[in-house]
Amino acid sequence: MITVEERAAELYEVIRSCTMCALAETRNHAVPGEGPVPAEVMCIGEAPGVNEDKQGRPFVGAAGKFLEELLAAGGLQRDEVYICNVLKCRPPGNRDPMPAEIEACAEYLDLQIDMVDPLVIVTLGRFSMSRWFPQQAISRIHGSVREFDGRLVVPMYHPAAALHQQNLRDVLLSDFHQLPAILERARVGRLPALATNVAKEEPVSMAKPALKVLPSESEPNALQPAPEGAQPGQIRLFE
């Protein structure tokens, strides 16, 4: 019987050799992701940067160092958390991800979420946030909590944003300080108590800081369509 670690290794090999979009022509290394599988917390960023493209690892530059500081503020170490990006290859010039590129990587991210089976997903930046919170403004909902099919999803600013806007540093630290309380709620029976509060749109009562809870709704992101020209179920793993 194949283990979850073997499943992860197989998926990483598929990602490293992926040619499903034009980013395969400009990358040095694809960046699948890293961390324990399963893991209670999963952080999803946007796309690899120049350092990540060189090393084939996520969040290894300045933003990565700040992410480690943020995780520590939330009572976590990097090796306890699964970290990946929406895109697995660096866009040239660190430009924003394009819709076709996000679509090409969507099934990889679906498979990673299934393998990691996190209690809490932290989205870092608006491109990962939009998977669960389409057409929302990160400035309005950062740090809030919503349940999607038995998981808590918490949108937060990308750590790189605080490198350019110092006022966001304290915002991010404050949001990450909520993680222990969020994770503890998620552990209790896989959300039964929290789900009741979410459904009523009531804030969760707890000591500092109180969680911002958004209404619950079923997860909108079943497997996204495969890229144009791809056959259904093109990514076949773990059979």
Element (H, E) at 85: strand 82-85
What's the whole-number mean pLDDT along residues 130-159?
96
Q: Is residue 104 part of a domain?
A: yes
CA-to-CA dists, residue 176 to 142, 169, 180, angstroms: 10, 11, 8
**217 touches 146 (CB < 8 A):** yes
Percent above pLDDT 90 for the chain: 77
Q: Is residue 117 part of a domain?
A: yes
CA angle 209, 214, 217 (to 5 degrees): 145
Q: Is residue 51 part of a domain?
A: yes
CA-to-CA dists, residue 24 to 82, 83, 188, 234, angstroms: 24, 21, 42, 17
On the question of pLDDT at 199 being above 60, the answer is no
Phi, psi of 77 (to 5 degrees): -105, 155
Q: Is residue 233 part of a domain?
A: no
Q: Is residue 92 part of a domain?
A: yes
CATH number at residue 26: 3.40.470.10
pLDDT value at position 193?
43
pLDDT value at position 219?
37
Q: 43 in helix, strand or coil?
A: strand
Q: Is residue 143 part of a domain?
A: yes
Q: Which residue has the higher pLDDT, 237 or 203?
A: 237
Number of domains in the chain: 1
Phi, psi of 95 (to 5 degrees): -65, 170
Q: Is residue 195 part of a domain?
A: no
Q: Residue 96: which of 159, 23, 169 has the closest Cα?
A: 23
CA-to-CA dists, residue 23 to 65, 84, 89, 237, angstroms: 26, 17, 6, 22
Token reading at 163: 């490198």
Question: Which one-letter amino acid corresponds to residue 47?
Answer: A
Q: Is residue 218 part of a domain?
A: no
Q: Read off the pLDDT band of 97 (50, 70, 90).
A: very high
Look up the pTM and report it.
0.82
Supply the range of the domain harboring residue 147.
4-179
